[in-house]
Amino acid sequence: MSLRRRSLLGAGTGLGLAALAGCGAGSGGAPDLARAAEVPRGEATVRWWSFPMATNDGDDLRRLLIEAFRSRHPNITVTTVDAPAVTDISRSVLSTAVASGAASPDLYMGDVAWPAQFAHNALALPLDEVVGEDYWRAYPESLVHALGYRDDTYAFPFFADQAYLFYRRDLLDRHGLDVPASWEELTVAARTVQRAGDAEYGLVFQGAVYEGLTANVAEFVADAGGEILNAEGTRVTLGGRSGERALTFLRDLVADGVTPRAVGTFREQDSTDAFVGGRAVFLRNWAYVWGVVEAPDSPVAGRVGVVPRPGFEGAAGSGNGCLGGWCNFVNPHSENPGAAVAFARFCAEEEAQVIMVRNTAYLPALSAVRAGAEARRSPTPVTALADEVRLVPRPTRSPHYPQVSKALYTEVNTVLSGGASPTEALERARAGIADALEGNAL
């Protein structure tokens, strides 16, 4: 028996090594960019990994887009594959499939935080040669920056997301307060309302141990005039007075009771629930919250206002909002790269972006549409204000971004729970990020 087992093991090892040697995966060679640049003339079907996107009347935006595309390219059929709702789960399935050389899905929706990592790991088709470098000029600079890695661009913009400050207009009015122009004013206003017993919490945001906290920290650091990594994503720049100011402010919010201790467990939903349930005066969150606030059964409907986030007193910028949103990647192993590119491109361009503004609460990515009359006249203030937010990128240009982000949010979370001082946390976060950039982190 022991002999038989040994030979089985031997066979297994042989297989393992054979696969490792490179004959296991991949359909061979660098992707054919010329073929990707050409829209096929014959019949073609592409599969689009995407999540359902509700329109204002309960339809699915994907259906509208596919229909519009079909009238332009009747020979190309687009079918959808529903992606899991949780971003990380979606990434794990995609990366396994594409890294193994799977040809389906032909194109996939991914987070704007992914391009560098996906480019580094050959999971996305490089696009500069396919559409020409000038193509990207039509989009906000920070968005294009996020979609790029080294000297190329790896995803088509789809929709943008950005953070705003939501506030209870009725409560501010009751106390004769203006919409705060700075974080310092906001703290005072929040305390006034809290002391009067009109709201339990002042400001709520996302402080749990996850990506959302990184977005919040990136904003506050930008408010204080700093940044987390240099533009190319190769060096830590977090620290100094800006980092100290941002983290100290966060700690004080919790210590002074303006923000509840529970914020350390808050994700988007928890903070929104607290706000919509009438427990908080201010909420920092993404654009989608407007739809939740104004829903028919919302207890605070009609009593909420929204503005770009304020800044710190005496610091340069205000109106910063973290850049989020989703883009479309093309699978390098697709058997129909031309058709996949054609559809991803269509979704990024004017016709589709206008359909998006007209029918949904998703924010367009194309600059002309973001600033266009249609958007500015939109009854949804988050869309109308879209172009006024200064988009703050997260440090996603590093292929090790997930570890960079983890080093940051883990440390800042301990500041929120009172487990570390801002200075200590900053020091540890810097060290952790430096390790991550070298690919040395676990």
Partner 1 sequence: MRRYLNPVTVGGLVLVVLTAAPLYWMAVTSFKSPVEAGASPPTLFPEDPTLDNYRHALDAADMDRYLFNSVAVCVSSTVIVLGLALFAGYALARLPMRGRGPVMVGLLMISVFPVIAVVTPLYLVERELGLLNSHGGLIIPYVAFHLPFAIWMLRNSMLDLPRELEEAATIDGASVVRTLRSVILPQAGPALFTAGVFTFAATWTEFLMALTLNSENDFRTIPVGIAIYGDRYQVPYGVIFAAAMAATVPVALLVLVFRRAVLSGLTDGAVKG
Partner 2 sequence: MSDVPSLTRRRARTGWLFTLPALVVVAAVTIFPVVYSIAISFTQVSLTYDGLRVEEWTLANYTTMLASSAWREALVFTVGYTLVTVAVELVLGIAVAVLLDRLEVGRGWLLALLLIPWSMITVVSAQLWGYLYNATYGAVTWGLGLFLDEPPVILGTPAPAITAMAVADIWKTTPFVAVIVLAGLVRIPAERYEAAEVDGAGAWRTFVSVVLPALRPVMVVAVLFRVLQAFGIFDLPFVLTQGGPGTATQSLAMLGYKALFQDLNMGMGAAVATATGLLVLGCCLLFLRAFRSHVDEAGEGSTA
Q: Which residues bind partner 2 (CB under 8 A)?
A: 8-9, 11-13, 15-17, 19-22, 24-26, 28-31, 88, 91-92, 95-96, 99-101, 117, 121-123, 208-210, 260-262, 264-266, 270, 273-274, 277, 279, 332, 400, 402-403, 406, 410, 413-414, 417, 419, 439-442
Evaluate whether 180 touches 189 at the Cβ level (below 8 Å): yes
For partner 1, the closer of residues 251 and 406 by Cβ is: 406
- Of 271, 259, 254, give the one whose Cα is nearest residue 417: 254
- Residue 269 is a binding residue for partner 1 (CB under 8 A): yes
d(CA 392, CA 162): 9
- Residue 239 is a binding residue for partner 1 (CB under 8 A): no
- Which residue shows structure tokens 């269509």? 346
- Residue 101 is a binding residue for partner 1 (CB under 8 A): yes
- Residue 196 is a binding residue for partner 1 (CB under 8 A): no
**Which stretches of 210-287 are assigned E, i.e. beta strand?**
280-286
For partner 1, the closer of residues 7 and 75 by Cβ is: 7
Residues of span 282-301 touching partner 1 by CB under 8 A: 286, 288, 292, 297-299
- Residue 356 is a binding residue for partner 1 (CB under 8 A): no
Token pair listed for 223 = 């408010």
d(CA 332, CA 106): 8
Burial class (CB in 10 A: 0-12, 13-18, 19+), 361: buried
* Shortest reach from residue 57's CB to partner 1, in Å: 15
**Binder to partner 1 among 52, 132, 240, 439 (CB under 8 A)?**
52
Token pair listed for 227 = 């940044």
- Of 83, 46, 84, give the one whose Cα is nearest residue 65: 46
The count of other CB atoms within 10 Å of the CB of residue 122 is: 15
* Shortest reach from residue 274's CB to partner 2, in Å: 5
Stretch that binds partner 1, among 69-77, 141-149, 240-248, 273-281 (CB under 8 A): 273-281
Name beta bridge partners: 283.
166, 204
- Residue 151 is a binding residue for partner 1 (CB under 8 A): no
List Cα–Cα distances, 283 to 259, 289, 292, in angstroms.
10, 9, 13
From partner 1, partner 2, none, interface partner of 84 (C-beta below 5 to 8 A by class): partner 1
Token pair listed for 157 = 């913009």
* Shortest reach from residue 332's CB to partner 2, in Å: 6
- Residue 77 is a binding residue for partner 1 (CB under 8 A): no
- Residue 89 is a binding residue for partner 1 (CB under 8 A): yes
Compute and round to an integer the Cα radius of gyration of the chain.
Answer: 24
From partner 1, partner 2, none, interface partner of 299 (C-beta below 5 to 8 A by class): partner 1
Orientation of helix 337-348 relative to helix 350-359, angle to 10°: 50
For partner 1, the closer of residues 134 and 297 by Cβ is: 297
- Of 412, 405, 394, give the one whose Cα is nearest residue 441: 405
For partner 2, the closer of residues 17 and 373 by Cβ is: 17
Residues that bind partner 1 (CB under 8 A): 1-2, 5, 16, 19, 24-25, 51-52, 81-87, 89, 92-93, 96-97, 99-102, 267-269, 272-273, 276-277, 279, 286, 288, 292, 297-299
